[in-house]
Amino acid sequence: MIDRSSTFTGQSEVQGDPHGEVFDLVGIGFGPANLALAIAIEEHNESSPGDEVRACFFERRTEFAWHPGMLLEGSTMQIAFPKDLVTFRNPTSSYSFFSYLHEHGRLVDFVNHQTFFPTRLEFQDYLQWAARRVGTEVRYDADIVAVEPLHNARGSADLFTVRAADGSVVHARTVVMGVGLRARVPSWATESSRCFHNHDFLFHLEEMPSPVHQRFVVVGAGQSAAEVVQYLHANYPQAEVHNVFGRFGYSPADDSPYANRIFDPEVVDELHSAPLEERERLLALHKGTNYAVVAPELIEALYAAEYRERVRGPRRLFMRRASEVLATTETSTGIEVEIRNSLDDSSDTLECDAVVLATGFEPTSLGSMLGDLAWNTPVPPVARDYRLELPAEIAADVYLLGGTEKTHGLTASLLSNAAVRAGEVLSSVLERRLRGQSVERAEIGELDRIPSQHTYATSEAR
Ligand SMILES: Cc1cc2nc3c(=O)[nH]c(=O)nc-3n(C[C@H](O)[C@H](O)[C@H](O)COP(=O)(O)OP(=O)(O)OC[C@H]3O[C@@H](n4cnc5c(N)ncnc54)[C@H](O)[C@@H]3O)c2cc1C
């Protein structure tokens, strides 16, 4: 938890007199994005005595977890394992997936397995291992609610106050937002123990009343939807599973090598500097690398299961194509789901035990946390180094790890570029600190020029 003894009064904030802890960098959220940054900071601090970055990360969970509600048995990663927390930034790091395997005595067995795509269960174990090892400070059970500039008497601010839900605060020169995405819930849905987003799927299943109708509806046609369909079909052997989606059928994920280059670290340069319309055109064209698509093996497995049922019955798996849910009504024993087929405009109502909303994610709105620092434009004003453009009187920095798809491309919310991006953000933080120190010294006559760029290890390819 944040040090409660450091709670501010409004008066001291206006005077810009930070009581309590002051960090060079505070990270908000401790998922893979900020974990990769914490490792980069640790490696920098070890190799650069005297130039350390004093950092602290705050996470609202009580321990590290990576989408625990979707750790379905057998589900695999959608990226190749070398796109781990470090390898593309520092292939010699002791935090690589290979190091993890070696430490757990599975390196040879994994190689014999001949796959680039570990299970999500194993990758989450890798991430947890890295989170336990990292020496950079992490405080769990800390829900951050506000980031506010700490104005000094001259009206400028070179620190932020970072405030937690319990009222406690710390201060930092740099704040890095790594808060992930939030679940997208359709307007017709009222969330309950029978109607829930797939993000916390396994936890909701535990809480769901015992099935009476032996019927589920899953809404959506992306990877998560297909995984949930497969899971329910396998784990509730008496139940029907109806997958409702607007498409005609699942579309396969495009992970062919040329298209996959859209996730390359150096492509961020090209996309960020391209005109907005061109970036939008390319991202729309290549949406199929990530959005509303399903791994081809899973499509085939589901089709085979449905076909087996057509041969020998009974039918339990139903693809409700070109369809949408119009409304749901909870009853004493379940939930009624009204489904409309848009091809013939027919509709029917199913009595179900639960509706799973595999309806995707959207960027977390930072408005309530950042207040006046937040933007109100459709595209966030974010520089190539992931730094948010702020008013001139604020000399402190906010970086966005995530939510920058419109400026930096498809990797913004994924793991693909987490390692390199962490290195780039750290380079920028170090460079700006050096420039700040130089300007200060120049102001008191010690220096007459600002030093050249401070670069920290980034991608080998860069
Ligand atoms: C089921 C599933 C599978 C996926 N598989 C892949 C994959 O194979 N490959 C891939 O590249 N991507 C995948 N993704 C995309 C996913 O976004 C990334 O894997 C990854 O989680 C992004 O990391 P992150 O740190 O940005 O966000 P998150 O992992 O979401 O972490 C954000 C953290 O911030 C914390 N937080 C949020 N708000 C606050 C606050 N106010 N105060 C304190 N803490 C806060 C949250 O509790 C959370 O722990 C998958 C997503 C899902 C849902």
Rounded Cα distance between 128 and 125, Å, is: 5
Q: Identify any residues that bridge with 57 across adjacent strands, giving them in sequence order.
A: 27, 138
Position in ligand 1 atom list of the atom nearest CA 411: 11
Interval 81-111: pLDDT, tens = 999 999 999 999 999 999 999 999 999 999 9
Are 426 and 47 contacting, i.e. CB atoms less than 8 angstroms apart? no
- Pairing relationship of beta strands 195-197 and 347-352 according to DSSP bridges: unpaired
Find the mean pLDDT for residues 45-66.
97
pTM: 0.92
Angle at 376 between CA 372 and CA 382, to 5 degrees: 85
CA-to-CA distance for 17 and 11, rounded, in angstroms? 9
Q: DSSP code of 410? A: G
Asked if domains 7-180+364-457 and 183-253+290-361 share a fold, the reply is yes
Q: Pocket residues for ligand 1 (CB within 6 Å)?
A: 28-34, 58-61, 66-67, 70, 77-79, 143-144, 178-181, 224, 401-402, 413-416
Question: pLDDT confidence of 7, banded at 50, 70, 90?
Answer: very low
Q: How confident is the model at residue 338 (pLDDT cuts 50, 70, 90)?
A: very high
Given 3.40.50.800, 3.40.50.720, 3.50.50.60, 3.40.50.300, which CATH number is that of 7-180+364-457?
3.50.50.60
Query: Can you give the pLDDT at residue 369?
Result: 96
Q: What pLDDT digit, counting tens, does each position of 167-202 carry?
A: 999 999 999 999 999 999 999 999 999 999 999 999
Q: Which residue has the least CA distance to atom 18 on ligand 1?
A: 414
* Selection from 396, 173, 237, 221 nearest residue 322 by Cα: 221
DSSP character string of 20-37: S-EEEEEEE--SHHHHHH
pLDDT (mean) for 394-419 = 95
Task: Please say if the pLDDT value at position 337 is more than 50.
Answer: yes
Q: Look-up: residue for tokens 């399903």?
A: 294
Give the pLDDT score at 296. Answer: 96
Å from CA of 70 to ligand 1 middle: 12
Kindly list the distances between the CA atom of residue 25 and the CA atoms of 7, 17, 348, 429, in Å, as whole numbers in the listed order.
Answer: 19, 18, 55, 9
Mean pLDDT in the chain?
91
Plot region of 219 (φ>0 → left; ψ -120 to 50 → alpha; else → beta) = beta
Q: Which residues pair with 357 in a beta bridge?
A: 197, 219
pLDDT at 127 over 90: yes
The reported pLDDT for the residue numbered 460 is: 32
CB 404 within 8 A of CB 410: no
pLDDT one-digit tens code per residue, 409-418: 999 999 999 9
Give the distance (Å) from ligand 1 centre to CA of residue 306: 32
- Mutation probe of ligand 1 site: the residue of 64, 179, 398 with most atoms within 8 A of C-beta: 179
Band the pLDDT of 9: cuts 50, 70, 90.
Answer: very low
CA–centroid distance, residue 299 to ligand 1 (Å): 25
Instruction: Please check the confidence at residue 300 and state whether its pLDDT lies above 90.
Output: yes
Question: For 183-253+290-361, which CATH superfamily applies?
Answer: FAD/NAD(P)-binding domain (3.50.50.60)
Instruction: Find the 179 Cα to ligand 1 centroid distance in Å.
Output: 7
Q: By the 8 A CB rule, do 57 and 135 touch? A: no
Q: How confident is residue 449, by pLDDT bands cut at 50, 70 and 90?
A: very low
Helices and strands of the chain, counted as H and E runs? 14, 17
Which pLDDT score is estimated for 19?
A: 72
Q: Which stretch of DSSP H or E encloses residue 147?
A: strand 144-151
Domain boundaries, the chain: 7-180+364-457, 183-253+290-361
Question: Cα(81) to centroid of ligand 1, in Å?
Answer: 17
Check residue 459 and give its pLDDT: 37
Least Cα distance to 422 among 27, 137, 16, 24 occurs for 27
Give residue 443's pLDDT.
Answer: 66
